[in-house]
Structure formats: structure tokens, C-alpha cells
Amino acid sequence: MTTLTEGTGTTAARETPARRRRVDHLPYVLLLPCLAIIAVLLLWPLGQVVMMSFYKLDSVRQLRGDREWPWVGLANYTQILGDPFFRTVLRNTVLFAMANVALTMILGTLVGLLLNRLGKRMATFVASCVMLAWATPALTGTIVWKWIFDDTSGLVTWLFNKLPDGLSTALFGRSDWTGYGWFNDPLLFFAILTLVVVWHSFPFIAVSVLAGLKSVPSELQEAARVDGAGPWRVFWSVTFPTLRPVFGILVVLSTIWDFKVFTQQFVLAGGTQDRTTFMLSIYSYAEAFSPPPKYGLGSAIAVILTLILLAVTALYVRMVLRQEDAS
């Protein structure tokens, strides 16, 4: 009996490493379909864009393979980086992204804190209403906002026309707002574009912050209140440090989304005619598809935008790793 037991134990001991190896490989095998889909939908198009940025492509026939692709190396990048207009576009993109990330994070955090204070039914109702903005397709929402600011029949134009003539003239220098081009002035255009983007983005921040708040120990907040801390102090001393990783991820995601805003700007501007309001996404599109097409230059701009976003992501990952090492 002892021999049988020892033999069984030896057999089990011999089979365990093999079983462990099979189990250890199982998660990677399960990930293969997802990795294959990502490679097809993301990596392959990205590789094509990178490859196109090293060629001079100015004809659809070249893309179809009917004509040869002239190799130009880094000439497209040199032309883009040496163009003063690119620096203007980059400035517009950075300032727009900074403003939108700040406003989205502030508004989303405030709404998340509000939802956390409401009762369960009211919080569910308010969250459902808020998420309608997030669920609305960017194209549909932007068309609605463009109608709101229409220069003849828009809601904003109607409201301004309802102001007393004396007050409207004293404040804005005009009393008749019919025909006023809300999208003609670059600063006003960016203000409306910011309104549209923040409206569409803040629900995701609010719901994410709300989910994070549910994980904050209520004992810590109660202890801070007992010590005499007000709501502002409780947030910065207890809530914010606990949710720092959540806020970090949300800032990175918001930065990526706001850097590559395209649909809202394209619809509000009515195309690519107004170059004073260009940002990197629409600049890449305009260079690639506006006549005469320059697909190589457009691809180079897209690659530069991708590298900027990768740098932002890498910076965040480095900060997270430093925080983990410090803790």
C-alpha cells in the first residue's frame, strides 16, 4: 500500500509541471483571436500609412497599383516640419486639446460627484439622461449643434434676436443677429467646437468617476469630516489621492480623443475651406484628399499625430510606474 501511494504521488508530481505549462499557455491562446483582429483592423492600416509617408503619392492610380510609387524617403516629413503653417496647426491642436481636457475633466468630475450624492433612483435617472450625449453619434450630435447655431433659423440666433435692441447693441454692438456667421470667426468657432466636444465627452468621465467613487472607503471620508474637513478638503485629501490612477487614465484618453477630433470640426466648418481653424486630423485629411491630392504628405501628418499620442501615453505609463515604485 505504501509503495502504491508513493508511486501515485510520484506520477502526480511528474504530471504537475506539464499541466502547469498547459494552463500557463492557455490565456495567450485565448488572446490570439483578439490579437488577430487588432492586427487586421489597426496594425495593418497603420503600417500602410507609415509606408505611404515615404513615397510621393499624388494619384489614385498609384494607390490602385497602376503606377509606380516614387520613393522620397523623409522628404514628406521635412516638408511638413519645415512649413510654418504646420506649427500653427500644431499650436491650435495643443491649445484646443488642453482646454477640452481641462473642461471635460472638471465638468465630468463634478457630475460624477453629484451622481454619487444622489439617491439610487435619481442617480440612475440622471446618469441615463447624461449618457444620452455619450451614446449620440458624433456626426448626429454635431449636426444638431450646427442647427442650433444656424445664422437664420437657429435657436441661438432666435434667442439673441429676442434681446432688447438697446441691451443687445450695448453689449454686442448689434441688434439684428439674423445672418450672423457664428462659425466665421476662428475664436468663436473654437468656442463652439469646444462646447460640442465637451458635451459629447463629459458623460464618460462622469460615469467613470462615479464608478471610482464607489471604491473609496466611506470610513476615510467620515474620519476626515469628523476631523473638521469640509467637502473641498475631503475631496483633495481623501478622494483625489485614492482615484489618482483613474484620473490619470481619463486624462490620457481625453487627450487622445481631443487631439484627433475630426468629425465635429469637419461638420461645423463645412469642409476644409477655413485653414485658420485647422488641427492635425483635418490637416492630414485636407493634404491627402483636397485637390490636388497628396497622399504621402497626408500620411506623414497622420504619423506625426500618432507619434505625439504615443509620447503622451508613454509619459503617463512612466508616471504610473514611478508612483508604483515610490509606494
pLDDT digits (tens, 9 = 90+) for 297-313: 999 999 999 999 888 88
Distances (CA, A) of 55 to 42, 58, 108: 21, 10, 43
Residue 294 — pLDDT band, cuts 50, 70, 90? Answer: confident
Q: Which secondary structure element, helix H or strand E, spans residue 296, and what is its range? A: helix 295-326
Query: Which single residue is written with the C-alpha cell 504537475?
Result: 16
191-214: per-residue pLDDT in tens? 999 999 999 999 999 999 998 888
pTM exceeds 0.85 for this model: no
Q: What is the pLDDT of residues 100-125, one digit of tens each?
A: 999 999 999 999 999 888 888 888 88
Residue 275 has pLDDT above 70, yes or no: yes
- Cα–Cα distance for residue pair 305/312, rounded to 1 Å: 11
Q: Which residue has the higher pLDDT, 70 or 197?
A: 197
Contact call for residues 189 and 92 (beta carbons, < 8 A):
no
Residue 169 has pLDDT above 90, yes or no: no
Domains present along the chain, CATH in parentheses: 84-290 (1.10.3720.10)
pLDDT recorded at residue 244: 86
HSE toward the beta carbon, residue 21, CA cutoff 13 A = 4
Give the DSSP letter string of 77-106: HHHHHT-HHHHHHHHHHHHHHHHHHHHHHH
Q: Is 228 exposed, middle or buried (0-12, 13-18, 19+ CB in 10 A)?
A: exposed
| Beta carbons of 254 and 100 less than 8 angstroms apart | yes
CA distances, 192 to each of 81, 198, 264 (Å): 29, 10, 10
Q: 116 and 207 in contact (C-beta within 8 Å)?
A: no
Mean of the pLDDT values across residues 127-136? 88
Q: How far apart are CA 317 and CA 251, in angstroms?
A: 12
